[in-house]
Amino acid sequence: MDFVRDNLPYILAGISVGGQYALIAIGYTMVYGILRLINFAHGDMFMIAGLMAVYAVTWMPLYVAIPFIIVLTVLLGFGIERVAYKPLRSAPRMSVMISAIGVSYLLQNAALYITGGLTKTYPNIPFLADTITVFGATTKVVTVVTPFLTIGLVILLVILINNTKIGMAMRAVSRDFETSRLMGIKIDSVISMTFIIGSFLAAIGSILYFTNYTGVMPTAGAMPGLKAFVAAVFGGIGSIPGAVIGAFIIGICENIIKGLGWTTFSDAFTFALLIVILIVKPTGLFGEKNIDKV
């Protein structure tokens, strides 16, 4: 019990961070499932959503600002897909990935320009930022809310994918891009929908994440983004439950490592885990195997 009591704050923080990674990881995994693209700009979208909140609250009350930034992030995600990825639909995969890196570079530089390179204080969202005591450990409400909210959203998403027409189209496209096109599925709208869902979840993830960390920097998106991607790979890229489970595992492990006093290695650990997974089971926990035909 001692171990648990000593480490409870870290485990709680881990579950919370895990939930936030999960919300980002879904965006990665869905886009990869459909376009076979590592959307390197996704982490930066998450950062931009954070910055938008910083600026939005100076103009409008919080209850307007939150839906506003969610809509804006969704529009941004949609726009990025249309401008930077759609023209490259028939190009080799590497070109699209490079375009994604370019977008990431652009978003980071734009954020640097707007903020002047300073860390911006994230607005204090009442309720979420309140402190609360769980099993004798003091933490913010957001820590407790995150896992439940995440799981709730994921259930909704799974229902959407399994039971609606657009969900069926998404599943079809992720199976076979070309055949789905031939079957009359409007590829572009399916892809847009994927980006919309991904951005929506990233926006919510960003609210939860930055409430915990108080500051937004132009580079704040890079690391959580990469980690969420690792979570997606860990769970088996293309699989939504996989991404969520992977994200929780990574969040918890990372915080336990911090708790042990190895903070320098908390990031490195994530990547070490990734490499081990890629070597031992490249398809991740729930991924499917595909064989190249000769």
Partner 1 sequence: MSKQKKWLLSCIAIAAFLAIVYVLEATIPKSSQWSMLFTVLEKGSIYALVAVSMNLVNGFTGLFSLGQAGFMLIGAYAYAIFTIPVEQRAAVYQYFDGGLVQFTLPVIVSILIAGLVAAAFAFLIGLPVLRLKSDYLAIATLGFAEIIRAIFQWNTLGPITNGSNLLRKFYTYDSALYPIIACGICIAIIVLLINSSYGRAFKAIREDEIAAEAMGINLFKHKQMSFVISSFFAGVGGALLAMFQTTIQASAFKAAMTYEFLLIVVIGGMGSVTGSVIASYLFIACREWWLRFLDAETYIGDFKVPLLRAGFRNVVFAVIIMIIVLFYRKGIMGTNEFSWDALIRWFKNLPKNIKSIPGRIKNIPNKFKRKSKKEAQINE
Q: Cβ of residue 180: shortest distance to partner 1, in angstroms?
A: 15
Q: Which residues ranging from 186 to 225 are in contact with partner 1 (CB under 8 A)?
A: 219, 222
Q: Cβ of residue 195: shortest distance to partner 1, in angstroms?
A: 17
- Binding of residue 97 to partner 1 (CB under 8 A): yes
Closer to partner 1 by Cβ: residue 88 or 172? 88
The binder of partner 1 chosen from 65, 103, 185, 208 (CB under 8 A): 103
- Binding of residue 268 to partner 1 (CB under 8 A): yes
- Binding of residue 104 to partner 1 (CB under 8 A): yes
Nearest-angstrom CA–CA distance, 21 and 154: 13
- Binding of residue 105 to partner 1 (CB under 8 A): yes
Q: Which residues ranging from 227 to 246 are in contact with partner 1 (CB under 8 A)?
A: 229-230, 233
Q: Cβ of residue 199: shortest distance to partner 1, in angstroms?
A: 19
Q: Cβ of residue 26: shortest distance to partner 1, in angstroms?
A: 17
What b/e readout covers 9-28, taking b as 16+ CB neighbours within 10 angstroms? bbbbbbbbbbbbbbbbbbbb
Q: Cβ of residue 198: shortest distance to partner 1, in angstroms?
A: 17
Closer to partner 1 by Cβ: residue 150 or 270? 270
- Binding of residue 274 to partner 1 (CB under 8 A): yes
> Checking phi first, is residue 172 left (phi over 0); if not, alpha (psi -120 to 50) or beta?
alpha
> Is residue 18 a contact partner of residue 251, using CB atoms and an 8 Å limit?
yes
Q: Cβ of residue 244: shortest distance to partner 1, in angstroms?
A: 19
The tokens describing 201, both together, are 């979840």
- Binding of residue 118 to partner 1 (CB under 8 A): no
> Is residue 240 a contact partner of residue 157, using CB atoms and an 8 Å limit?
yes
Burial grade of 248 (CB within 10 A; 0-12, 13-18, 19 or more): buried
The tokens describing 117, both together, are 């390179």
- Binding of residue 94 to partner 1 (CB under 8 A): yes
The binder of partner 1 chosen from 8, 11, 106, 160 (CB under 8 A): 106
- Binding of residue 95 to partner 1 (CB under 8 A): yes
- Binding of residue 253 to partner 1 (CB under 8 A): no
- Binding of residue 87 to partner 1 (CB under 8 A): yes
Q: Which residues ranging from 37 to 66 are in contact with partner 1 (CB under 8 A)?
A: 38
- Binding of residue 294 to partner 1 (CB under 8 A): yes
Q: Cβ of residue 163: shortest distance to partner 1, in angstroms?
A: 28
| Chain residues in the site for partner 1 (CB under 8 A) | 36, 38, 83-84, 87-88, 91, 93-95, 97-99, 101-106, 108-110, 112-114, 116-117, 219, 222, 226, 229-230, 233, 264-265, 267-268, 270-272, 274-275, 278-279, 282, 292, 294
